[in-house]
Structure 1
Amino acid sequence: MTSVLIVEDDGDIRAMLARGLSAEGFSVNLAGGVDEALAAARERVPEAVLLDIMLPDGSGHDVCRSLREGGYPGTILFLSAKDEVGDRVDGLALGADDYIVKPFSFDELLARLRTHLQRRRAAGEPRTLVAAGRLSLDFATRQVRFGETTARLTQREAELLGILMEQANRPVNRGDIFDRLWASQGGLSLNVVDVYVGYLRTKLGDIARLGGPAIVTVRGKGFMLDLREPGFRH
């Protein structure tokens, strides 16, 4: 599930974008200002940021600059009522991928967002960060984070968690997991999936106890990363 951070101080626009993107299958996080946006991006690294320029505590330019200087590799789209050529040039010069002038069509925004995401993936840019809900995984360091709680994974554990995060709240079949991670090695059975799920559950134990995502077994369907609060899980 692709994660998007919406940074917009207009509540109506923020709600419209959140509803629309959620309906299209995106995982959405919201911020209304500079400080809130940077804190949200640190806690849950998004694959894309939709960024207003005029914010109550500063400029979206500050957010874009901070993200890029911090090594953020994802897609950044400015959304702004400022429509002069110079405004667009300034935004792109800071490292944004696109600049969309308000008022805009949601369908056009969605098309541009998807195009930029697809281009990054087609270009073979290495996947370094993935998020599901408030859970984030850094493939470079193999560190998983939920708020201030972290855990370090092995390479294979990180690959397994990445698969479950991609399909968060949807069960993933044991056979599909096995085919992606172990089929090419030979001499192994489907039981290896259960073994590594057990390893992951142990390492994510503190996160689950704090109300974070947990790996649940869905009878007859496989394993699922459940983003719901503990009281709503199976």
Structure 2
Amino acid sequence: MNSVLIVEDDGDIRAMLARGLSAEGFAVDLAGGVDEALSAARERVPEAVLLDNMLPDGTGQDVCRSLREGGYPGAILFLSAKDEVGDRVEGLSVGADDYIVKPFVFDELLARLRVHLQRRRAAGEARTLMTAGRLSLDLATRQVRFGETTARLTQREAELLAILMEQASRPVTRGDIFDRLWASQGGLSLNVVDVYVGYLRTKLADIARAGGPSLVTVRGRGFMLDLHEAGFRQ
């Protein structure tokens, strides 16, 4: 079943969308503001977000930007009464897949939503599974596996492991990791890398004990996923 988060402060529009999408077989969650939307998206990770631009505690652009910076992989469609070209360009520039102007016809919205879900799903199937040696990471479920030993990661832990898997058996500097995962958020220091490396190392402990790759620190060079094919050791 497809899942969708509707972020809309107008109760009538929110109810109409919920009824229509539920009738089409969607699992629907509702939010009326920025904070509520981000909390709901983190808790259940919908496949799509329908996003009003004008919200009581901020804008839909705030929601879209935060979701994309946090690695949200689903479809985001703006539903907005603001119909200037600049508004549309700004909405798309923060990571939305589509911008639909109110008032809209529900059947057209449904058709566009399904197209974006199909495109996202096809793209996800092509890039969801990463491997390094005998270690595999499913980016969709955030499950890492080595033989019969598995671990479940958070979104940010999975993104960190993906970077290390791309460069398996080669060190990646703190700066490079920070730039890819945290630089755009502001207010954070390089120490956040060490914190998440610690989290990830704990999650991979059983895999390392089973003879799989381990996450090691290479002094003066950064961090490395050691496939036990190179001479580096912590």
**Range of TM-score over shorter length:** 0.5 to 0.7
Unaligned runs of 5+ in 2: 130-138, 153-234
Instruction: State how far apart, in whole Å, the 2-side matches of 1:116 and 1:17 are.
Output: 17
Unaligned runs of 5+ in 1: 129-136, 143-152, 158-234
**1:32 aligned onto 2:32:** yes
| Deviation at residue 127 of structure 1 after TM alignment | 5.3
**1:97 aligned onto 2:106:** no
Q: Give the structure 2 partner of residue 121 of structure 1.
A: 121
Q: Give the structure 1 partner of residue 56 of structure 2.
A: 56
Instruction: State how far apart, in whole Å, the 1-side matches of 2:149 and 2:104 are.
Output: 44
Q: Give the structure 2 partner of residue 140 of structure 1.
A: 142
Paired residue secondary structure (1:96): coil
Structure of higher RCO (CA pairs closer than 8 Å, 6+ residues apart) = 1
Paired residue secondary structure (1:6): strand
Opposite residue 102 of structure 2, the aligned amino acid is: K
Q: Give the structure 2 partner of residue 86 of structure 1.
A: 86
Percent identity (aligned): 81
Larger Rg: 2
| Deviation at residue 27 of structure 1 after TM alignment | 0.4
| Deviation at residue 71 of structure 1 after TM alignment | 0.4
Paired residue secondary structure (2:20): helix
Instruction: State how far apart, in whole Å, the 2-side matches of 1:76 and 1:35 are.
Output: 17
1:26-58 Cα offsets, whole Å, 9 max, x none, are 000000000000010111100000000000011
Paired residue secondary structure (1:92): helix
Q: Give the structure 1 partner of residue 77 of structure 2.
A: 77
Instruction: State how far apart, in whole Å, the 2-side matches of 1:73 and 1:138 are.
Output: 9
Instruction: State how far apart, in whole Å, the 2-side matches of 1:125 and 1:94 are.
Output: 24
Opposite residue 26 of structure 2, the aligned amino acid is: F
Instruction: State how far apart, in whole Å, the 2-side matches of 1:125 and 1:77 are.
Output: 22
TM-score where L is the length of structure 2: 0.56
| Deviation at residue 122 of structure 1 after TM alignment | 2.5
